């Protein structure tokens, strides 16, 4: 039986997978939001933009951010956990306890709204209602308590949630959103208690990230309380810079509602993923016996939609199925033990086998290293010499003290002299060696001075001779100057903003649509009709800005083509049929695709097909014509004639 379950557990480990040497920890991230609920946190702030009359309170802004992050993490980090803890609330809730339980409450005025876990659809829905629906009953919980909440209690509550729900996670982070910079101004003992609980969290390996909110009449001053709570270094990533944690201080200082939301959002977004090294403390060998240590990160990695899986419909709710694989011998179907398995290659109609150790040895090219082979000018790196995403590397002092200054010297030298280093790069033990170009990247900041691209080196894996394909033969038809001049005008009209590519402006439309639909299905909502696709060209603008130039270019093209045509094609290729050639030339002309109807004839493919569509006789067209029409409109041309006819009709119906 063909097993078409795509989520196989026995998948061979992808080399890309971020398997770092993390020892006993599981490489997962848990974020617990602790959002304060108080009168000032609930005070609505008007928007300074008169067009947007939305009023936003810091608490609802924080909840909206949390909701946004939750949705985003379902896509980007499907294995990671998230939870929402409200504090300062009149109501209290901690697992089985609430105000109605007997006995004392463990954590009064702490309300665990969303338990720390991989979010469920229901939780997403509730969080959205709380954040966005002013009318919901859920808003009841956003009633501030009359007595102050103890911060040590809040911190210990978070501690207990992390301890029991996210044990052994590599990364656990507490995001505190508050406008109260001095919760226990009048009680030294409460302050001390909070400090001790903060140390507990540090020792547990929980990083506290503060998202302070300033009030219109009062700037948040972290030195009053939070500087005793937050630690200089992250407990799990001692190399992580501490100063960066403070940049939100200024950005959230604004008072108006919309900008509050957007700055909070961007500041939370920038921390949505914990920093995870792809490789840690690998030697960067500048020369024989001279090494420093660096860590590597994947700052670019294609985000793919999750693969589909099997669900079991036999129960009350659909349930995810886990598959268990047993291996059996093909001849007798007996179950095989792992030690029996040999690996073999097909060769000459037979198998050539190797022991697992030999197979491992074949992939062993030495210990992990980044070894500089020599330097070359940057211009030696051709545009096409690329096979995959780059690796980012940054110095680490953990193995070799002084690495940072040497790395910095190399970085500055390469930047200044526009040079690259050719490196032999073995990312991990038994990993395939990469020949790479190591180039220095400058730090890039956005308008607000927030880092967009970090300073460091990038290793660009180069193709080996085996990976380079030969260009297919084709005819050379160099455009004459006048035609180039016309095209140049078009290009100049259509520069992207700042004449550069800004990836953050282009969310992946198919990925977003995939999860948008899943969310609607999971929450039992109506399906959205139109996807938002920011990768579609701005047609109106193109027409407006470049339309006239396009027409004169097309005219010139006709002229030039007429000039060259009589001399015969220079192509070395087999000539195509007359009909095809004419149709193609029509296509290439840039002339209106919708042209006057009277012209229909064999040369005007669109018109011909349209003509038959109007008459309801599409099926009379030949398969070749249908295929050509479909292909030229980006439609699939696979299948039988009936399918093609159907697709052509569909095309016109949609117009």
Partner 1 sequence: MADKEATVYIVDVGRSTGEKRNGRSVTDLDWAMQYVWERVTATVSTGRKTAMLGVIGLRTDETSNDLESDPHFSHISVLSSIKQFLMPDIRQLGEAIKPSQTDKGDAISAIILAVQMINLHCKKLKYKRKIVLVTNGQGRMSNEGMEGITQKIKEDNIELVVLGADFDDPEFGVKEEDKDSRKSENEELLRNLVEECDGAYGTLEQAVSELDTPRVKVVKSMASFKGHLQLGNPEQYDTAVRIPVERYYRTYVAKPPSASSYVLRSDLAGGEGTAESSATVAPKGDQPGDGNTLTSVRNLRTYQVTDETAPGGKSDVERDDLAKGYEYGRTAVHIDESDENITTLETFAGLELLGFIQSDHYERYMHMSNSNIIIGQRGNDKSALALSSFIHALFELDCYAVARLVMKENKPPVIVLLAPSIEADYECLLEVQLPFAEDIRTYRFPPLDKVITVSGKVVTQHRNLPTDDLLDAMDKYVNSMELVDRDEDGDIIEGLPIEDSFSPVLHRIMAAIRARAIHPSGPIPPPSERLMKFSHPPQSLIEKSQSHLEKLADVADVKKVPPKVKGRKRTRETEKPLSGLDVDALLHQEKRAKISPSNAIPEFKQTLSLAEDIESIKGAAKQMAAIIEDQIKNSLGDANYDRCVEELGVMRDELISYEEPASYNEFVTHLKNKLLKEELGGDRREVWWLIRKSKLGLIHQRESDQSKVTEADANEFMSAK
Q: Catalytic: which of 25, 544, 597, 620?
A: 25
Q: Closer CB to partner 1, residue 218 or residue 544?
A: 544
In sign, the C-alpha dihedral spanning 77, 78, 80, 81 is positive
CB 607, min distance to partner 1, A: 13
The minimum distance between CB 55 and partner 1, in angstroms, equals 29
> Would you say 19 or 204 has its CB closer to partner 1?
204
Residue 291 annotated as catalytic: no
Q: With respect to partner 1, which residue has the nearer C-beta, 135 or 496?
A: 496
* Count of C-beta atoms within a 10 Å radius of residue 221: 14
Q: Please report how close the Cβ of residue 234 comes to partner 1 at its closest, in angstroms.
A: 9
Minimum distance of partner 1 from residue 33's CB (angstroms): 16
Nearer to partner 1, 45 or 245 (CB): 245
Of 47 and 403, the one with the shorter C-beta distance to partner 1 is: 403
Please, what is the minimum distance in Å from the beta carbon of residue 315 to partner 1?
Answer: 7
CA distances from 79 to 26, 27, 199, 598 (A): 11, 9, 28, 61
Is 249 in contact with 226 (CB distance < 8 Å)? no
Q: CA–CA separation, 35 vs 109, rounded Å?
A: 12
Specify the 3-state DSSP secondary structure of 391: strand
**Looking at beta carbons only, is 146 or 334 nearer to partner 1?**
334
Question: Which residues make Cβ contacts (< 8 Å) with residue 288, sequence separation at least 6?
Answer: none
**Which residue's CB is nearer to partner 1, number 323 or number 602?**
323
CB of 133 to partner 1, least distance (A): 20
To 10 degrees, the CA torsion angle through 392, 398, 399, 402?
Answer: 80
Long-range Cβ contact pairs of 68-72 (< 8 A, separation 24 or more)? 68/265, 68/269, 69/31, 69/268, 69/269, 69/272, 70/119, 70/123, 70/124, 70/127, 71/124, 71/515, 71/519, 72/269, 72/272
What DSSP line would sit under 123-189, residue for residue? HHHHHHHHHH-TT-GGGGG--B-SSPPPHHHHHHHHHHHHHHHSTTEEEEEEEEEES-S-TTTT-HH
Closest to partner 1 by CB, 614 or 631: 631
For partner 1, which is the closer residue by CB, 472 or 616? 472
Could you tell me the smallest distance in angstroms from the CB atom of residue 35 to partner 1?
A: 20
Q: How far is the CB of 106 from partner 1 (least distance, A)?
A: 10
Nearest-Å Rg of the Cα atoms of the chain is 31
From the CB of residue 570, how many other CB atoms can be counted at a distance below 10 Å? 9
Give min distance, CB of 134 to partner 1, in A: 25
CB of residue 76 to partner 1, shortest distance in Å? 6
Q: Quick one: tokens of 248?
A: 């939100």
CA-based angle 451:454:456, to the nearest 5?
Answer: 160
374 half-sphere exposure, CB direction, 13 A CA radius:
3
What is the C-alpha to C-alpha distance for residues 58 and 264, in angstroms, rounded to an integer? 9
d(CA 328, CA 441): 51
- The count of other CB atoms within 10 Å of the CB of residue 93 is 20
- Give residue for tokens 């900008």: 259
- CB nearer to partner 1: give 405 or 429: 405
Cα 412 from chain centroid (whole Å): 30
Helix (H, G, I), strand (E, B) or coil at 421: strand
Contact yes or no for 86/35 (Cβ under 8 A): yes
* Element housing 554 (H / E): helix 539-564
CA–CA separation, 120 and 317 (whole Å): 13
Give the active site residues.
25
């Amino acid at each position: 039986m063909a097993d078409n379950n795509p989520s196989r557990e026995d998948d061979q480990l992808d080399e890309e997978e971020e398997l770092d040497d993390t020892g006993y920890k599981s490489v997962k991230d848990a974020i617990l939001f602790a959002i304060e609920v108080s009168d000032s946190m609930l005070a609505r702030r008007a928007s300074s933009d008169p067009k947007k009359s939305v009023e936003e309170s810091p608490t609802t802004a924080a909840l909206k951010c949390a909701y946004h992050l939750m949705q985003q993490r379902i896509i980007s980090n499907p294995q990671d956990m998230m939870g929402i803890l409200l504090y300062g609330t009149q109501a209290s809730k901690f697992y089985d306890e609430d105000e109605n339980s007997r006995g004392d409450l463990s954590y009064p005025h702490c309300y665990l709204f969303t338990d720390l876990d991989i979010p469920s659809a229901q939780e997403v829905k509730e969080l959205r209602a709380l954040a966005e629906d002013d009318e919901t009953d859920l808003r009841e919980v956003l009633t501030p308590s009359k007595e102050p909440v103890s911060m040590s209690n809040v911190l210990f509550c978070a501690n207990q949630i992390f301890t029991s729900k996210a044990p052994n996670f590599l990364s656990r982070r507490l995001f505190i959103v508050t406008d109260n910079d001095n919760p226990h101004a009048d009680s030294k003992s409460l302050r001390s208690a909070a400090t001790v609980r903060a140390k507990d969290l540090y020792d547990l390996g929980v990083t506290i990230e503060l998202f302070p909110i300033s009030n219109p009449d009062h700037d948040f001053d972290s030195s009053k309380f939070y500087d005793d709570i937050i630690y200089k270094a992250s407990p799990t990533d001692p190399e992580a810079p501490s100063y960066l944690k403070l940049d939100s201080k200024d950005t959230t200082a604004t008072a108006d509602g919309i900008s509050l939301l957007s700055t909070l959002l961007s500041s939370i977004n920038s921390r949505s993923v914990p920093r995870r090294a792809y490789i840690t403390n690998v030697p960067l060998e500048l020369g024989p016996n001279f090494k420093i240590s660096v860590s590597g990160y994947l700052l670019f990695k294609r985000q793919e939609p999750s693969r589909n899986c099997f669900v079991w419909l036999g129960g009350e709710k659909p349930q995810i199925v886990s598959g268990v694989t047993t291996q059996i011998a093909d001849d007798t179907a007996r179950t095989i033990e792992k030690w029996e398995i040999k690996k073999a290659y097909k060769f000459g109609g037979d198998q050539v086998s190797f022991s697992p150790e030999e197979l491992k040895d074949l992939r062993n090219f030495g210990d992990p290293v980044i070894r500089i082979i020599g330097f070359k000018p940057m211009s030696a790196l051709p545009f096409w010499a690329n096979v995959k995403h780059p690796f980012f590397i940054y110095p680490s002092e953990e193995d070799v003290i002084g690495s940072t200054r040497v790395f910095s010297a190399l970085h500055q030298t390469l930047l200044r002299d526009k040079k690259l280093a050719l490196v032999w790069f073995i990312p991990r033990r038994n990993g395939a060696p990469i020949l790479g170009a190591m180039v220095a990247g400058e730090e890039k900041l956005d308008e607000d001075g927030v880092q967009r691209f970090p300073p460091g080196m990038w290793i660009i894996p180069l193709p080996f001779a085996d990976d380079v394909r030969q260009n297919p033969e084709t005819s050379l038809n160099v455009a004459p100057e006048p035609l180039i001049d016309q095209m140049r005008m078009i290009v100049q009209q259509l520069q992207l903003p700042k004449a550069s590519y800004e990836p953050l402006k282009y969310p992946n439309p198919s990925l977003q649509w995939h999860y948008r639909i899943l969310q609607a299905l999971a929450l039992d909502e109506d399906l959205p009709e139109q996807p938002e696709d920011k990768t579609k060209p701005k047609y109106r603008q193109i027409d407006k800005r470049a339309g006239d130039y396009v027409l004169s270019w097309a005219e010139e093209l006709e002229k030039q083509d007429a000039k060259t045509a009589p001399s015969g094609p220079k192509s070395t290729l087999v000539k195509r049929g007359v009909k095809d050639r004419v149709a193609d030339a029509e296509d290439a002309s840039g002339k209106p695709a919708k042209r006057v109807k009277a012209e229909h004839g064999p040369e005007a493919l669109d018109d011909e097909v349209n003509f038959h569509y109007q008459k309801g006789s599409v099926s009379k067209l030949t398969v070749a014509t249908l295929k050509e029409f479909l292909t030229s409109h980006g439609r699939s041309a696979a299948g039988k004639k009936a399918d093609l006819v159907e697709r052509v009709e569909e095309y016109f119906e949609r117009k």
